[in-house]
């Protein structure tokens, strides 16, 4: 029982483990390295390699058997894998990708320069694998075709149960994991799926046409990855078949590929929300990071200049009521926070396909919610300013401004992502500096304008 529990403990890299690997590498102890790494999962080995120098990582890749290192390569961080691949010959890469499912093989080959891609593909000995890889490389990487693998188990509707079992055994040898069994006609058109239970209890001479389930969810080869993720999430699918315009079965997409899509989309949305316009990592160069961050920082600069210009127009009022100046950061912060909250809820709803109904209904609901929050906060602020300044007009001006600012910020935060989504623009862009900056400017303008009306200045 203890051994069984040990296998399920989450792997964590320790300084001691890396030091042990370093020592074995320095002493050129290949036997020791093999014995040490043999007990680790390929995903764990990939994590270990990412902590080593590229030369050391390449040495271990060449040392381990191809069947294991092919999986290790598919798990490596893209930047690390790129450097490792540069140090492998085309023949070595060809041997590695032959051990992988076609979708993973394509992911690796697609990272190579075009000339090297052709060289590696030419050296792949398995003609079926070569043809599959060449086909998959023609699809957009963010489409169903770019995600799918060609390896699957398909059976013909006119086969008997006995023939079906025999053919399935042959096909399953080339499939890492059998998620589903698909039924096709003589022209390879997808008809349905086959339940393993129904197959086992059916008479040996029964035809598959009398056993299979005709209803099966599928996606088109050109469907976008995000839409496929929504379908698989909605119906709790582990795999989904991919078809073309004629409903010909081309391949299948598994849940592990969709998890990668969801992760990448979440990372992209997070970066957009933080005001980073490109897909970057901490290991990227200073120039790349600057290009990704500078546009939104520049927008923030313009927003700050705009806010300063607006305040300059109310200079006379600030001279007579200096206390208004002290609450300017509060108004700007509340406007930005409310806008980000509203936009984040809408963006999340759009991502999960939960946003239903008209835009007007959404705006009205958000306006009521913002009004309620604004009134509660404004009452607290009113009492605080009144107690501090002893002037009810000042307290009323600041607290009334807060209510209007919160309502306007909520409306903007709701409308902008919905508008961007309708225009085919990623609405996640609305949760970052764009919303914050725009609401800061509107908030300050509203604040001083209402204060001017109430104080009769």
- The range of the structural domain enclosing residue 67 comes to 12-140
Residues 100 and 246 in one domain: no
SS3 content of the chain, % helix, strand, coil (to 5): 65, 5, 25
Query: Helix or strand or coil: residue 153?
Result: strand
256-266, pLDDT tens digit by residue? 888 888 777 77
pLDDT, residue 3, reads: 42
pLDDT, residue 82, reads: 85
- What CA–CA distance (Å, rounded) separates 73 from 64? 12
Residues 437 and 291 in one domain: yes
- Residue 80 contacts residue 50 (beta carbons within 8 Å): yes
Within 10 A of 419 (CB to CB), how many other CB atoms are there?
A: 13
- Residue 123 contacts residue 89 (beta carbons within 8 Å): no
Sign of CA dihedral 292, 295, 299, 305: positive
297 within some domain: yes
4 within some domain: no
- Residue 324 contacts residue 404 (beta carbons within 8 Å): no
Q: Which of 140, 166, 194 finishes a domain? A: 140
Band of the pLDDT at 5, cuts 50, 70, 90? very low
pLDDT, residue 280, reads: 55
Which position has the higher pLDDT, 434 or 218? 218
Residues 133 and 159 in one domain: no
Residues 79 and 103 in one domain: yes
Which CATH number goes with the domain that contains 117? Answer: 1.25.60.10
Residues 175 and 107 in one domain: no
Query: pTM here?
Result: 0.67
443 within some domain: yes
Q: Which of 119, 140, 161 finishes a domain? A: 140
**Range of lowest pLDDT (109-118, 200-209, 220-229, 331-340):** 331-340
Find tokens 């969801």 and name the residue.
262
- What CA–CA distance (Å, rounded) separates 111 from 65? 22
Q: What does DSSP assign to residue 182?
A: E
> Rounded to 5 degrees, what are φ and ψ at 187?
-100, 10
Which CATH number goes with the domain that contains 232? Answer: 3.10.580.10
271 within some domain: no
Residue 409: partners with Cβ closer than 8 Å, 6 or more residues away: 334, 335, 336, 338, 339, 342, 370, 439, 442, 443
Residues 99 and 216 in one domain: no
Residue 155: its H or E element: strand 153-156
- What CA–CA distance (Å, rounded) separates 413 from 297? 20
Specify the number of domains making up the chain. 3
Find tokens 């079965």 and name the residue.
249
Give me 71's structure tokens.
Answer: 């999986």
272 within some domain: no
- Residue 432 contacts residue 274 (beta carbons within 8 Å): yes
Residues 293 and 439 in one domain: yes
- Residue 400 contacts residue 378 (beta carbons within 8 Å): yes
Band of the pLDDT at 281, cuts 50, 70, 90? low
Q: Is pLDDT of 163 > 90?
A: yes
Residues 315 and 432 in one domain: yes
pLDDT, residue 1, reads: 39
**Range of lowest pLDDT (92-106, 125-139, 179-193, 268-282):** 268-282
pLDDT, residue 4, reads: 41
Pairing of the two strands 239-243 and 249-254: antiparallel
pLDDT, residue 357, reads: 62
2 within some domain: no
Cα distance between the two ends of the chain:
80
- What CA–CA distance (Å, rounded) separates 10 from 20? 20
Which class for 52: exposed (0-12), middle (13-18), buried (19 or more C-beta within 10 A)? middle
Sign of CA dihedral 366, 438, 436, 454: negative
- What CA–CA distance (Å, rounded) separates 372 from 391? 25
281 within some domain: no
Find tokens 């700007």 and name the residue.
332
pLDDT, residue 135, reads: 94
Residues 243 and 293 in one domain: no
68 within some domain: yes
Residues 190 and 48 in one domain: no
pLDDT, residue 2, reads: 40
- What CA–CA distance (Å, rounded) separates 439 from 444? 8
- Residue 390 contacts residue 439 (beta carbons within 8 Å): no
Q: Is pLDDT of 251 > 90?
A: yes
Q: What angle do CA 87, 91, 95 make, to 5 degrees?
A: 105
- Give Dmax over CA atoms of the chain in angstroms: 97
Sign of CA dihedral 111, 12, 33, 50: positive
pLDDT, residue 171, reads: 86
Q: What is the mean pLDDT of residues 269-297?
A: 65
Band of the pLDDT at 362, cuts 50, 70, 90? confident
Q: What are the Cα distances from residue 344, in Å, to 153, 226, 402?
A: 42, 18, 21
Which class for 123: exposed (0-12), middle (13-18), buried (19 or more C-beta within 10 A)? middle
**Range of lowest pLDDT (156-160, 223-227, 247-251):** 223-227
Find tokens 């890492």 and name the residue.
176
Give me 180's structure tokens.
Answer: 């589903």
Q: Which of 226, 260, 294 finishes a domain? A: 260
Q: What are the Cα distances from residue 113, in Å, to 33, 55, 109, 110, 248?
A: 32, 21, 9, 8, 32
Q: Mean pLDDT of all residues in the chain?
A: 84
Find tokens 């009769």 and name the residue.
456
Residues 315 and 256 in one domain: no
Residues 341 and 426 in one domain: yes
pLDDT, residue 146, reads: 92
């Amino acid at each position: 029982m203890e051994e069984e529990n040990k296998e399920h403990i989450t792997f964590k890299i320790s300084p001691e483990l890396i030091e042990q690997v370093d020592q074995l590498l320095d002493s050129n102890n290949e036997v020791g390295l093999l014995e040490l790494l043999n007990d680790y999962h390929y995903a764990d080995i990939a994590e270990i390699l990412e902590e080593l120098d590229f030369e050391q990582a390449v040495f271990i890749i060449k040392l381990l058997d191809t069947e294991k290192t092919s999986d290790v390569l598919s798990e490596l961080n893209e930047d690390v894998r790129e450097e490792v691949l540069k140090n492998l010959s085309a023949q070595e890469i060809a041997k590695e990708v032959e051990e992988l499912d076609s979708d993973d093989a394509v992911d690796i080959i697609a990272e190579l320069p075009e000339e090297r891609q052709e060289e590696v593909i030419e050296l792949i000995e398995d003609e079926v694998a070569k043809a599959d890889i060449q086909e998959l490389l023609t699809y957009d990487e963010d489409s169903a075709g770019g995600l799918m693998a060609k390896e699957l188990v398909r059976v013909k509707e006119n086969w008997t149960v006995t023939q079906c079992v025999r053919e399935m055994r042959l096909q399953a040898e080339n499939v890492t994991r059998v998620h589903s069994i698909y039924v096709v006609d003589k022209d390879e058109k997808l008809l349905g799926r086959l339940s393993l239970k129904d197959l086992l209890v059916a008479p040996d001479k029964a035809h598959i046409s009398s056993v299979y389930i005709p209803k099966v969810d599928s996606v088109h080869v050109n469907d976008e990855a995000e839409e496929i993720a929504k379908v698989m999430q909605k119906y709790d699918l582990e795999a989904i078949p991919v078809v073309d315009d004629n409903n010909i079965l081309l391949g299948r997409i598994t849940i592990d590929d969709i998890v990668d899509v969801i992760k990448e989309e979440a990372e992209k949305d997070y970066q957009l929300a933080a005001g980073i316009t490109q897909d970057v990592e901490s290991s990227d160069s200073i120039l790349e990071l600057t290009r990704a961050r500078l546009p939104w920082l520049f927008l923030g600069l313009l927003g700050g200049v705009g806010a300063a210009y607006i305040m300059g127009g109310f200079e006379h009022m600030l001279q007579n009521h200096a206390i208004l100046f002290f609450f300017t950061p509060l108004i700007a912060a509340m406007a930005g926070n409310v806008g980000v909250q509203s936009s984040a809820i809408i963006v999340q709803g759009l991502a999960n396909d939960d946003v239903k109904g008209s835009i007007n209904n959404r705006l009205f609901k958000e306006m009521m919610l913002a009004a309620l929050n604004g009134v509660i906060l404004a009452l607290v602020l009113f009492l605080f300013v009144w107690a501090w300044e002893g002037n009810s007009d000042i307290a009323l001006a600041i607290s009334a401004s807060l209510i209007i600012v919160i309502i306007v910020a909520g409306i903007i935060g709701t409308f902008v992502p919905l508008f961007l989504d309708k225009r085919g623009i990623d609405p996640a862009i609305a949760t970052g500096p764009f919303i914050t900056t725009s609401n800061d400017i509107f908030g300050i303008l509203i604040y001083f304008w209402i204060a001017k009306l109430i104080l009769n200045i």
